[in-house]
Amino acid sequence: MILFTAVASLRRTPAYALFQPSCSQLPATLVPHCGGASSTCARGCCERYGAQSTLPRLLLHLRHSFFLTHTACIAFVHYSVSRFALHPCASALSSPALPQAGFTETCFKYIRTVFEAAGSSKKPADADYLKFLDPIVQVLNGMDKACVRGDWFNHQKAFAEMIMCMQWLMMTTPKGHILGQIEAADFYLTKVLTASKDQDDEKKQVFRDYVKQMKAMCKELADFVFANAKMGIDWNPKGADLSEFKPGAGGGAAPAAGAAPAAAATPKLEASIEARLEALCAQMERALSAAGAGDAGGADADGQAKCLPAWDAYYSAHVQPFIDTCNKLEGTKSLAGFTETCFGHCRVVFCAAAASKKPADADYLKFLDPIVQVLNGMDKACVRGDWFNHQKAFAEMIMCMQWLMMTTPKGHILGQIEAADFYLTKVLTASKDQDDEKKQVFRDYVKQMKAMCKELADFAFANHKMGIDWNPKGADLSEFKP
């Protein structure tokens, strides 16, 4: 009840007051006396964090003070982030920016439902989980339509890039992806700052706040997720099927009544978006193809994937050497096979994309089954013993294969090698106790894994910057024969 009392209290707080939150804005029962004194807070908590502390930092204090579960704390943070970060800017920027407030509420508020479901449900199949995430998916799929050339185009495009960070809900190491999305938005945010120079003083400040708060929101989300959901959403292994979950049945009080209109915004968009989205995408792809401006990942004049020469060169220079190194060590030979399976199937994906139109997510996930099987089996492949650190590092790294499902993959790929670094450091430490030959193999394992991921990120950015390029005139993916 403490959690939901705080949420209700914050929803009644004026938006401007949330820019510089003080613990004095929260109910007395929520903030313990810290024994200090401050001119801004009689309870003394602001002295500990500073009167200008952002709300997430204060919430971390609450988490430790009340031993809240990380799930409840994350839900509380996300409720609050959507209130203090974008709403004031959206209101001040008049009607063209207002849809962003609705999209933000829809996505961030639905995350609360996800956490509630995870607490009472066992891990679902990917297809079932994707269906469960439909309110967020609908927003993400509608972002292209929401960006209209005009005075607000750069605000809209920046938001469209940023909101793709919601894909973290499907990832096992989400921090890199979240940071990658704000990096992707930075080009348009810079244009927003440039445009602010031509505004009056009041609007100039709002433009600047829009940029500053969007970046802060993503950075705080990345830090919070890394601290509390480092390996992704935690499901209840003893829970029921996700299909049996009923929102509000197991997570406490429902959101305040004022949340209903925003949550209902997405269904209103569906009628206009669902029927026309595919046609719009096809039209854009045809235009890009005719102008010769598409990414290098499409089909060439012979119907072959344009990226194949670059991929084959990358594979020979970086993947094959890593496979060879894995085969030199008894405890990593199985990892060589996993690498061949995943990276080999990437080439099949490129060929299929050149000959096929974009499939439904469920069909594409099925097509990626050889890779999915490897990723799902990583936990069992890590066995405590002499090779545990090699295996755990690989298990973190190979999750970079999820880039095949993403629209801005570079950040996620780099995030995975960052996630593997803890175990790779242990591999290097262990190498000191090996004979000269094995010491070199251990070091090669670390060096080559890092190089393989870095070069993959560069390849994806150069050839599939916005994700896999499908052929709008191609056949169904089910008809493709490798």
CB 204 within 8 A of CB 194: no
Looking at residue 275, what is its pLDDT? 53
Which of 70-84, 417-431, 433-447 is the least confident region? Answer: 70-84
CB 214 within 8 A of CB 86: yes
Q: 46 with 57: CB under 8 angstroms?
A: no
How far is Cα of residue 123 from the mean position of the Cα atoms in its chain? Answer: 19
DSSP state of 316: I
Q: What pTM was computed for the model?
A: 0.46
CB atoms within 10 A of CB 42: 14
Q: Is 157 exposed, middle or buried (0-12, 13-18, 19+ CB in 10 A)?
A: buried
Task: Check pLDDT > 50 for residue 441.
Answer: yes
pLDDT digits (tens, 9 = 90+) for 95-126: 455 578 888 888 888 888 898 898 899 999 88
375 has a pLDDT exceeding 50: yes
The partner residues of 240 in beta bridges, in order of sequence, read 121
Closest CA to 79 of 177, 5, 139, 156: 5
What distance lies between CA 140 and its chain's CA centroid? Answer: 12
Are 177 and 411 spatial neighbours (Cβ–Cβ below 8 Å)? yes
Ordered structural domains, the chain, with CATH:
69-235 (1.25.40.330), 308-479 (1.25.40.330)
User: Is residue 23 within 8 Å of 43, Cβ to Cβ?
Assistant: yes
The predicted-structure confidence for 135-157, as pLDDT tens digits, reads as follows 999 888 888 777 888 888 888 88
CA distances from 216 to 86, 178, 222, 391 (A): 11, 12, 10, 35
pLDDT of 349 above 50: yes
What pLDDT does residue 316 have? 94
User: What average pLDDT does the segment 249-269 reach?
Assistant: 42
Q: Rounded to the nearest 5 degrees, what angle is found at the Cα of 467, between the Cα atoms of 399 and 377?
A: 20
